[in-house]
Structure 1
Amino acid sequence: MERKAWMIKLKPEKATEYKALHADAWPSILSQITACNIRNYTIFLREPENLLVGIYEYHGDDFEADMAKMGEDPDTQKWWALTDPCQTPLDSAETGEWWVPMEEVFHLD
């Protein structure tokens, strides 16, 4: 098991829409996340800075393959078509990067 954390900005004018989408996440999206070996997935929002932090446990053996599988899923593509316009990458994101990885500096079980 590997813990992963990611960050992105939420457009302030899209906060209500983004929260509503996640309050009623599609069952097919939840199933796809699980099928791609992701567990204990949480997204936190820090306002007024409008920072989203996603944290989850990855229980698979090939993260890149599982993320490719997720990206090829038609329902996931439809979901991202709704959620992506709500987000904007951090200024420090590299070209083509969306959610940026975060370094774990402390953990206590």
Structure 2
Amino acid sequence: MKRYGWSIKVKMERLAEYKALHAAVWPEVLNRLKECNIQNYSIYYRDGYLFSYLEYMGQDFEKDMANMAADPNTQAWWKLTDPCQEPVDSASEGEWWATMEEVFHME
């Protein structure tokens, strides 16, 4: 199992919309996440930023992420959620959710 943390900005004028979408995530999207070996997935909000945490249980993260990105339901979901977001200032070129470094973990 590998833990991942990411951050992104949320557009304040779309925060309520973003929260409403995630209060009723489509079952097809949730199923695809599970099929792509993701579990214990959470998104947190504070002061204009979103923090995403998940645990990856698979063997090939890039392949599973490509599988997710190819899914039509996931693509439709992202068309709703992506306009609510913008990358953090320190994101790399082409990076949407910016990868965070884990500096502490306790089991």
Bin for the TM-score computed over the shorter chain: over 0.9
- If the length of structure 2 is used for normalisation, what is the TM-score? 0.99
The 2-side partners of 1:107 and 1:69 are apart by 29
Corresponding position of 1:40: 40
Q: Which runs of 5 or more residues in structure 2 are unaligned?
A: none
Question: In structure 2, how many angstroms separate the alpha carbons of the residues matched to 1:73 and 1:84?
Answer: 16
Task: Indicate the SS of the match to 1:107.
Answer: coil
Count how many residue pairs are aligned between Structure 1 and Structure 2: 107
Match of 1:14 in 2: 14
Instruction: Write the distance in 1 (CA, Å) between the matches of 2:92 and 2:39.
Output: 27
TM normalised by structure 1 equals 0.97
Aligned to 2:85: 87
AA aligned opposite 1:70: M
Q: Which residue of 2 aligns with 1:69?
A: 67
Q: What is the rounded CA distance, in whole Å, between the counterparts of 2:98 and 2:90 in structure 1?
A: 9
Secondary structure, in 3 states, of the residue corresponding to 1:28? Answer: helix
Secondary structure of 1:78's partner? helix
Consecutive aligned runs of 4 or more in structure 1 exceeding 2 Å deviation: none
Amino acid at match of 1:83: T
